[in-house]
Chains A and B, each alone.
Chain A
Amino acid sequence: MTEGDIRKMVEEELNNIAPEADLASLDPTADLREAIDIDSMDFLNFITAIHHRLGIDIPEIDYPKLISLKGAVAYIAAHLKPAGSA
């Protein structure tokens, strides 16, 4: 799975939550809670969806790392490759 694939998947899931958000023009480092108005229930649904699609475990303590588009993509990429390859 390339970083492009991951980004596409993250955007799909965010689009499920915020269908009206323009993700293409979103600042990839912006806090998603503010940028596309998602609340804690939305965020939990997002984490749950990622968990189901990729099987990666995202402990609560790591939530802050996924709070931007860029952060979420990087986090998922790192956890999909436990061998540590970039």
Chain B
Amino acid sequence: MVDFLMPSLGADMEAGTLVEWLVKPGDWVRRGDVVAVVETQKGAIEIETFQSGQIDQILVDLKSKVPVGTPLARIRSEGEAKLAAVPVAPPPITPAPTPAVPPVAPVVERPAVTLPRPPVTPTPAARARVSPAARRLAEERGIDLSTVTGSGPDGAITYADVERRIGAAAVMPERKRGWLDLSAMRTAIAAAMARSKREIPHYYLEHQVDITACEHWLAEKNASLSPDNRLLLGALPVKAVALAARRNPAFNGFYRDNKFEPAQAVHIGVAIAIRGGGLAAPALHDADQLSLDELMSHMRDLVQRTRAGRIRGSEMSDPTITVSSLGERGVEALYGIIYPPQVAIVGIGKAVVRPWVIDGAIGPRSVITVTLSGDHRVSDGHAGALFLAEIGKLLQEPDKL
């Protein structure tokens, strides 16, 4: 039995309010399924489980605000659940086997209520297994589950399977903005940035990069693609940063408890402007491992979900380095403020045509200004310069990104 805990979705989060359960006791979940929605200062966040199995018990009531680390539900692992699925009496209610569980200490007037244990209903083996989050998504979008191919064990249908099935049909996300509260978001941004400026000794570098090769390569590639599959220029620098971060570990990770912890994976926090004046930088997971096409489709999905107020918990807490791009409008350079506990942010300005010297002759080239804000507790300008130069070099060969 494993406890599903209120996750920490950022260094400054102390508590969250549970606003929606997407599962009920007896439901099957798979690692990565969205099981609950938690409201934080940064908006409503979809929380995934890291444990596959069967929901045993819901421990926290809707609308309860509880501290980070509070058990929200108990999940029976798949092995345990299979044993329990043999029609037997419900397992005796014993204290949770994990003695380390802190007592539920709600910080609201309303105490968390432990729901009574429902009768254990064995899941008939013949029933196609569909994760609750997948079922809900399918219902929302009117997808017939019999048309979805499951990729889970025994063909179980996961959330990702339904997402894939929806695929290009879901060009427009539902416009419902979840619980996106822009003024609360502004407060959270202000708190994080003030902390960053207080604690992180920033240094700043800039580098001008000729991206004419990227533009040519992209125009040629996109010419044969339908709009669903086209790449945006902005995807290329994100991939270049991810590859360079992999080779320059001093810019990829977290500074916590007075020391730097390099991250094993590269999860790029993509800064996304939200209409009406919001900003979030959720993680594009394992960006260095994705092909450009995959990276683009994940980024498109991430932008749509973020703007619709449907970010997932892991996307909030995972970014190991942030990339902030101004797109095709705006100005030529931005100097980012590092999002703690990260140690670097890369800024990408808009592309401008500039006179450029190539092989002794002047010609017009498309140029972007790439900036780095680095953390002097971890790296210095010399290492930062090599990191930025590597990003620039990678952008000269877009076909290898």
Interface of A with B (CB < 8 Å)? 13, 16, 18-20, 33-34, 37, 39-41, 44-45, 47-49, 51-52, 57-61
Contact = CB atoms under 8 A, between A and B. Distances in A.
Interface of B: 168-169, 171-172, 175, 219, 222-223, 226-228, 230, 232-234, 273, 275-276, 300, 303-304, 327-329
B230 A44 contact: yes
A44 B223 contact: no
Contacts of A45: 171-172, 300, 304
B327 A52 contact: no
A61 B276 contact: no
Contact of A49 (B172, B175, B230, B232): B172
A41 B303 contact: yes
Tell me whether chain A's interface is mostly helix, strand or loop, or mixed. helix
Contacts of A40: 232-234, 327-328
A54 B9 CA distance: 42
A39 B175 CA distance: 17
A58 B227 contact: yes
B220 to A, nearest CB: 10
11 contacts: A16-B175, A20-B275, A33-B329, A40-B234, A40-B328, A44-B227, A45-B304, A48-B168, A49-B172, A51-B227, A59-B223
A48 B275 contact: no
Contacts of B304: 45
Nearest to A41: B303
B225 to A, nearest CB: 9
Report the 3 A-B pairs with minimum CB-CB distance, sorted nearest first.
Answer: A48-B227, A51-B227, A47-B227
A58 B275 CA distance: 26
A52 B168 contact: yes
* B169, B172, B233 interface centre (most CB from chain A within 10 Å): B172
A50 to B, nearest CB: 8
Contacts of A51: 226-228
Contacts of B303: 41
Contacts of A44: 227, 230, 232, 300
Contacts of B275: 18-20, 37
Contacts of B233: 40
Given A16-B175, A45-B172, A52-B171, A39 B227 contact: no
A57 B329 CA distance: 25
A28 B392 CA distance: 40
Nearest to B234: A40
Most chain B CB within 10 A, of A19, A44, A51, A58, is at: A44
Given A40-B234, A44-B230, A61 B171 contact: no
A59 B222 CA distance: 8
B10 to A, nearest CB: 24
B223 A60 contact: yes
Contacts of B227: 44, 47-48, 51, 58
Nearest to A37: B275
A54 B168 CA distance: 15
Nearest to B169: A52
Contacts of A48: 168, 171, 227-228
Contacts of B273: 39
A61 B232 CA distance: 13
Contacts of A59: 223
A39 B172 contact: no
A54 to B, nearest CB: 12
Contacts of A39: 273, 327-329
Contact of B171 (A18, A19, A49, A60): A49
A61 B134 CA distance: 38
Contact of A57 (B168, B226, B276): B226
Nearest to A18: B275
Contact of A60 (B172, B222, B327, B328): B222
